[in-house]
Amino acid sequence: MKSSPFAIICPKRRFLLLTFIFLLSLSACGKRRPPLPPTENVPQRTELLSGVQRGNRVILSWPAPRRNAAETSVQSIRRIDIYRVAESADDPLPLTEEEFSTRATLIGSVPFSSIQRATENLTYEDILTLTEPVRLRYALRYVNATGQRASFSNFLLIEPATRVSQPPVLLSVSNESENAVKVRWQTPPANVDNSIPANLLGYNVYRTDRSQNEFAQTPLNSSVLTATEFNDQTFTFDEEYVYLVRAISLGTRGAQVESLNSNALGIAPRDTFPPSAPTSISVAAAPRRLSLFFPANPERDVAGYNIYRSSDPNTPKDRWTKLNRTPLERTTYQDDAVESGVRYFYYLTAVDTAGNTSQPSEVVSETVP
């Protein structure tokens, strides 16, 4: 038999040759290659579709995709399609995705531009023209750049009321006292389908300020309002607020359904309300000294007090001597610049943090021993 060239190599040289081949293969495995592009983690569906009826509309809402592929990528979410099935309120609740797909109607889409601008949530409004009770089943699908549709979202079931009140008309928002902003509105005359009388249980009042992009989901009132005015006592002076009101109707199965928004009115409350005049002032006499004592004003924004003195009570009050340079924060004052045997007359005013000054207090007097 003819032997191979490799077979006649001595064992020591054969070992060195095998070791060299092994090391060469390791170096080849460790060779650097061009970096791969990052995998695009694009959401395929949402399971957080929610919604509510408001007036003659169903407002759908779901979280905006937190991550989307680049606009040039085939994985980019280009639109979101909205589907709806109208079914009898007595139909079975379970429905497969295949059954929904067969029966559903595409009622609208959210375009790519809206997806790009969205920050927290996306919304879609379905305008209803219902005359008979019905159950509506909604779902949505993400669609990528190639037109491929993702799976349906969770199903949202709503049994809308057929008669919901028109929104109220907001008449005025005013700052009539230091404790409240008063909101007034007009009763809606009919339902959204112009039927009368209006299906009306009461009202909810909503407010937003500069720090909010949209109105709060919770009304200012803790229970349904039946009057056509509301006093907002949770405001802060010099903040800018916008108010609106929604009527509340009796919906399907006893649920409360809000109307569409009323017109909105804004206000920036200003503190132009002076505190009340100080009361119950007493004067204690001591050799070469008169001491004044008085209780604190009830207003929370009082910054201090001014003290005025005269030896002639008939002198016009604007000519009395002011004893303090800055508002006095204490409720006592010691007057040492007095002469024995002279009777002195005093009055006080209160000053708040906005610079409003109260009316003068009653005049009190005492003679220095």
In a domain, 41, yes or no: no
In a domain, 32, yes or no: no
pLDDT at position 330: 96
- The structure tokens 């929610």 sit at 50
Amino acid identity at 11: P
- The structure tokens 């032997």 sit at 3
Please check whether residues 98 and 191 belong to one and the same domain: no
Question: Nearest to residue 241, comparing CAs of 230, 257, 249?
Answer: 230
Nearest-angstrom CA–CA distance, 266 and 339: 57
In a domain, 8, yes or no: no
pLDDT at position 17: 53
Last residue within a domain, chosen from 125, 158, 191: 158
Paired residues of 357 in beta bridges: 351
In a domain, 35, yes or no: no
pLDDT at position 10: 53
pLDDT at position 57: 95
pLDDT at position 212: 75
In a domain, 272, yes or no: no
Question: Residue ranges of the chain with pLDDT lower than 70?
Answer: 1-43, 67-72, 74
Domain range for 292 is 282-367
Nearest-angstrom CA–CA distance, 41 and 67: 7
**8 A C-beta contact, residue 203 and residue 224:** yes
Last residue within a domain, chosen from 238, 267, 296: 267
Nearest-angstrom CA–CA distance, 264 and 146: 43
pLDDT at position 74: 62
222-242 pLDDT tens trace: 999 999 999 999 999 999 999
276: enclosing H helix or E strand: none
Backbone torsions φ then ψ of 252, nearest 5 degrees = -65, 135
pLDDT at position 72: 65
Tally of domains in the chain:
3
**8 A C-beta contact, residue 320 and residue 308:** yes
Last residue within a domain, chosen from 233, 267, 301: 267
In a domain, 330, yes or no: yes
Please check whether residues 109 and 184 belong to one and the same domain: no
In a domain, 12, yes or no: no
Please check whether residues 186 and 236 belong to one and the same domain: yes
3-state SS assignment for residue 206: strand
The CATH number of residue 81's host domain is: 2.60.40.10
In a domain, 33, yes or no: no
Please check whether residues 188 and 258 belong to one and the same domain: yes
pLDDT at position 76: 81
Nearest-angstrom CA–CA distance, 181 and 363: 35
Nearest-angstrom CA–CA distance, 171 and 186: 7
Please check whether residues 228 and 293 belong to one and the same domain: no
